[in-house]
Structure 1
Amino acid sequence: MSSRSAGQAAGSSYRPHLETAPRTPVRRFLLTVDGVTIDAAYDPGTGASGDLAFIVAHGFTGDLDRPHVCRAAGILARHAPVVTFSFRGHGASGGRSTVGDREVHDLAAAVAWARELGHARVATVGFSMGGSVVLRHAAIYGETAEAGRRQGRQQGQEHEGRTDAHTDAVVSVSAPARWYYRGTAPMRRLHWLVTQPVGRIVGRYGLRTRIHHREWDPVPASPVESVPLIAPTPLLIVHGDQDGYFPVDHPRMLAAASGGHAELWLEHGMGHAENAADDALLARIGDWAVAHAG
């Protein structure tokens, strides 16, 4: 857990092949641009992907040690090295969860670390909350997404001129299209967990997730507002037709917002996020990212 590496991941300019990628797993704390420590791990994988690395962004109440996150990362590691991390407020990371707002900085720190380790190409793969974060991150940090950077600055999410945190391909799995959705019972329970003091206690001690008590101010751009700013970065939207949290109008809205740029996979019989994504689907996602990430 080197302070040198944490500082580099937080603020260095992109220098390809700064280091030789490790051949054994590495675990390290990274520092975000807003000063939060993020627990992260690097798996060199078993796939021959050249200079590509995956960054896995878990769902709400997950962390990098959860079995469903480890399984997803393990399948992707057959294609290329993988960086996993715990969002703020989750697991051993610092801070408190803002449920998809400031988490873009956590993902940016993980992407920057992968580039420090010598990976010239990066594909971000997010699930549920993480799926919304990879969309917003690509819009704000994208190499060509100047409108997204302006949007991020207006919302207090300055990326401090970083050129090392952009992604080369984006995969969003089981993501919401819009904020404050309460149209399903699971989402009504989630809103109680996030907005009520008793709910946040349950989150902290029952789900190992520390949730910030403040409401969003300002409200961040929604996933569907972010999608048009991602092009020309390749974008894949994956969603199950049996998702109990977000019905299929969410992925269809996201795909429509891309203006034909995004690829949409509606998976028959699939439920929600990492737990519902079987090994075959994760392998297909890996294949897609290898083919599209530059």
Structure 2
Amino acid sequence: MSSVPEGQFRRTPVPPVTRGDRRTVLLTRDGVRIEALYEPCTAGPSDTAIVLAHGFTGAVDRPAVRRAAGVFAHRAAVITFSFRGHGRSGGRSTVGNSEVFDLEAAVAWARALGHSRVVTVGFSMGGSVVLRQAALCASEASAYEGRTDARVDAVAAVSAPARWYYRGTAPMRRLHWVVTRPLGRLVGRVGFGTRIHTEDWDPVPLSPVEAVPMIAPIPLLIVHGDRDPYFPLDHPRMLAGASGGAAELWIEPGMGHAENAAGPGLLERVADWLTSR
């Protein structure tokens, strides 16, 4: 799963929007078209926009994504989008590598819509992407030539992996089969509507745990369920430990994995944390 050279990304130009839902297509820096949806804050105009990054096999219109966006919209404007290879977006999924370009385009769109604060929340694969995107923006100022439209003001990663190639649980072994085998990719495309890249990562991208130390001083929240069937608790603890005490860690009793397991109460607390930092 090859990465592209660092540099500016492109996006579909859109005028500032202050009210009303809006769907658009964003163009990433490597030329992939990404479907995106803007929803204003239901409580009134908000300076803050929450950009939601879904998990693997998710999409803008999946019920769990819509439910999370509905909760977040009580406190801020919300942008949801489908990662490459998902939903009606173009391209193929690289399972967290080039997806940082998709998130960048969504963050920049939030800035173009007039929001002075843009925060990100990611679930599972999306959690790894929000960590890496924040770290790369913070560490590559020269590549951005002074631009600030892709930078974020706070980050929350929910059910995120700490390291790549983890196969320690049965669900992750099944996921690796889907991603790496031709029959598995067929199942992903037909069964889950997810088109997956056929190439291996080259080079291997920065891992989430390597990204975390680069994020400070941006506020960082790590959220994980103690019944997550994909990633055990050493993953969130490793991420929090890598922050050197800068990250806030929430271990949620009884919670499973990602957006499908995040109840309204947790989503409200995450939204409160993101909008208060």
TM-score (normalizing by structure 2): 0.93
Q: Deviations over 1:242-276 (max 9, x none)?
A: 00000000000000000000000000000000011
Q: Deviations over 1:140-194 (max 9, x none)?
A: 013xx34xx68xxxxxxx6676421011000000000000000000000000000
1:204 Cα deviation after fit: 0.7
Partner of 1:235: 220
Is the partner of 2:216 in helix, strand or coil?
A: coil
1:220 Cα deviation after fit: 0.1
**What is the 5 A alignment of 1:170-181?**
170-181=155-166
Indicate yes or no: 2:261 matched with 1:265: no
Q: Deviations over 1:31-59 (max 9, x none)?
A: 00000000000001213463100000000
Q: Verify the 8 A CA contact 2:123 2:160 in the aligned structure 1.
A: yes
Query: Which residue identity does 1:166 align to in structure 2?
Result: R
Query: Which residue identity does 1:184 align to in structure 2?
Result: T
Q: Verify the 8 A CA contact 1:33 1:159 in the aligned structure 2.
A: no
Q: 2:116 aligns with which of 88, 99, 120?
A: 120
Query: Which residue identity does 1:66 align to in structure 2?
Result: R
Partner of 2:97: 101
Q: Which deviates more, 120-129 or 19-28? A: 19-28
Q: 1:118 to 1:91 in 2, by over 3 A?
A: same
Indicate yes or no: 2:68 matched with 1:72: yes
Q: Verify the 8 A CA contact 1:136 1:221 in the aligned structure 2.
A: yes
CA distance in 2, matches of 1:45, 1:118: 13
1:21 Cα deviation after fit: 2.9
CA distance in 2, matches of 1:214, 1:230: 29
Q: Verify the 8 A CA contact 1:21 1:119 in the aligned structure 2.
A: no
Q: Verify the 8 A CA contact 1:132 1:176 in the aligned structure 2.
A: yes
Q: 2:172 aligns with which of 174, 179, 187?
A: 187
CA distance in 1, matches of 2:233, 2:154: 23
**What is the 5 A alignment of 1:81-100?**
81-100=77-96
Partner of 2:50: 54
Partner of 1:280: 265
Q: How many residues align?
A: 270
1:22 Cα deviation after fit: 3.0
CA distance in 2, matches of 1:177, 1:101: 14
CA distance in 1, matches of 2:206, 2:195: 23
Partner of 1:27: 23
Is the partner of 2:10 in helix, strand or coil?
A: helix
CA distance in 1, matches of 2:191, 2:209: 31
Q: Verify the 8 A CA contact 1:19 1:118 in the aligned structure 2.
A: no
Q: 2:200 aligns with which of 209, 212, 215?
A: 215
* Structure 1: gaps spanning 5 or more residues: 1-7, 13-17, 151-157
Q: Verify the 8 A CA contact 2:188 2:196 in the aligned structure 1.
A: yes
Is the partner of 1:10 in helix, strand or coil?
A: coil
RMSD over aligned CA atoms reads 2.0
TM-score (normalizing by structure 1): 0.88
CA distance in 1, matches of 2:88, 2:144: 24
* Structure 2: gaps spanning 5 or more residues: 1-7
CA distance in 1, matches of 2:196, 2:146: 29
Partner of 2:5: none
Indicate yes or no: 2:186 matched with 1:201: yes
Q: Verify the 8 A CA contact 2:9 2:29 in the aligned structure 1.
A: no
CA distance in 2, matches of 1:102, 1:49: 32
Indicate yes or no: 2:10 matched with 1:10: yes
CA distance in 2, matches of 1:211, 1:176: 19
Q: Deviations over 1:112-136 (max 9, x none)?
A: 0000000010010000000000000
CA distance in 2, matches of 1:23, 1:76: 16
Query: Which residue identity does 1:268 align to in structure 2?
Result: P
